[in-house]
Amino acid sequence: MSDERTFVIVGASLAGAKAVETLRADGFTGRIILVGEETERPYERPPLSKGYLLGKDPRDKAYVHDVQWYSSNDVDLVLGVQATAIDPSAHTVTLDGVEPVHYDRLLLATGSRVRRLDVPGSDNLGIRYLRTITESDTLLRDLREGAQVLVVGAGWIGLEVTAAARTHGAAVTVVEVDTLPLRRVLGDEVAGVYAELHRAHDVDFRFSTGVQEFGGMGGRLTHAVLSDGSEVPADIAVVGVGIRPATELAESAGLDVSNGVITDAGLRTSDPDIFACGDVASSFNPLFRRHIRVEHWANALNGGKAAGKAMLGQDVSYDRVPYFYSDQYDHGMEYSGYVEPEGYDSVVFRGDPSIVDGKAPEFVAFWVDRDGRVLAGMNANVWDVNEPIQQLVRAGCAGEAVDPARLGDPDVPLQDLLPE
Ligand SMILES: Cc1cc2nc3c(=O)[nH]c(=O)nc-3n(C[C@H](O)[C@H](O)[C@H](O)COP(=O)(O)OP(=O)(O)OC[C@H]3O[C@@H](n4cnc5c(N)ncnc54)[C@H](O)[C@@H]3O)c2cc1C
- How is 264-289 classified by DSSP, letter by letter? -TT-B-SSTTEEE-GGGEEEEETTTT
pLDDT of residue 54: 98
* pLDDT (average), residues 298-327: 98
pLDDT of residue 359: 86
What spacing in Å lies between the alpha carbon of 336 and ligand 1's midpoint? 19
Please count the other Cβ atoms lying within 10 Å of the Cβ belonging to residue 290: 11
Question: Does the pLDDT of residue 317 top 90, yes or no?
Answer: yes
Q: List the residue whose alpha carbon is closest to atom 6 of ligand 1.
A: 46
pLDDT of residue 357: 85
| Distance of alpha carbon 405 from alpha carbon 105, whole angstroms | 51
* pLDDT (average), residues 77-83: 98
Q: What pLDDT digit, counting tens, does each position of 346-395 carry? A: 999 999 999 988 888 999 999 999 999 999 999 999 999 999 999 999 99
Pocket test for ligand 1, best of 8, 13, 334, 335 (most atoms within 8 A of CB): 13
pLDDT of residue 219: 86
pLDDT of residue 358: 80
Question: Does the pLDDT of residue 2 top 90, yes or no?
Answer: no
pLDDT of residue 27: 97
Q: List the residue whose alpha carbon is closest to atom 51 of ligand 1.
A: 45
Question: Does the pLDDT of residue 90 top 80, yes or no?
Answer: yes
Question: Does the pLDDT of residue 218 top 90, yes or no?
Answer: no
Measured from the CA of 113, which atom of ligand 1 is nearest? 30
Q: What is the pTM of this model?
A: 0.97
pLDDT of residue 372: 96
* pLDDT (average), residues 178-206: 96
> What is the DSSP code (8-state) at residue 22?
H
| Distance of alpha carbon 240 from alpha carbon 228, whole angstroms | 20
Confidence of residue 274 (pLDDT cuts 50, 70, 90): very high
Instruction: Compute, in degrees rounded to 10, the torsion defined by CA atoms 1, 65, 39, 97.
Output: 30
Q: What pLDDT digit, counting tens, does each position of 42-62 carry? A: 999 999 999 999 999 999 999
* pLDDT (average), residues 88-93: 98
Which residues form ligand 1's pocket by a CB distance below 6 Å? Answer: 10-16, 35-38, 45-46, 48-49, 82-83, 109-112, 130-131, 157, 246, 249, 278-279, 295-298, 300, 324-326
| Distance of alpha carbon 405 from alpha carbon 197, whole angstroms | 27
8 Å CB contact between 376 and 338: yes
Closest CA to 308 of 365, 349, 262, 268: 268
Measured from the CA of 303, which atom of ligand 1 is nearest? 26
Closest CA to 328 of 374, 270, 380: 380
pLDDT of residue 419: 85
Give the chain's mean pLDDT.
97
Question: Does the pLDDT of residue 286 top 80, yes or no?
Answer: yes
Closest CA to 261 of 298, 303, 320: 303
Dump the DSSP string for 51-75.
TTTTT-S-GGGGBSS-HHHHHHTTE
pLDDT of residue 52: 98
pLDDT of residue 364: 98
Residue type at position 13: S
* pLDDT (average), residues 269-278: 98
What spacing in Å lies between the alpha carbon of 348 and ligand 1's midpoint? 32
Reported residue count of the chain is 420
Q: What pLDDT digit, counting tens, does each position of 122-175 carry? A: 999 999 999 999 999 999 999 999 999 999 999 999 999 999 999 999 999 999
pLDDT of residue 420: 78
* pLDDT (average), residues 307-315: 98
Question: Does the pLDDT of residue 1 top 80, yes or no?
Answer: no
| Distance of alpha carbon 160 from alpha carbon 249, whole angstroms | 31
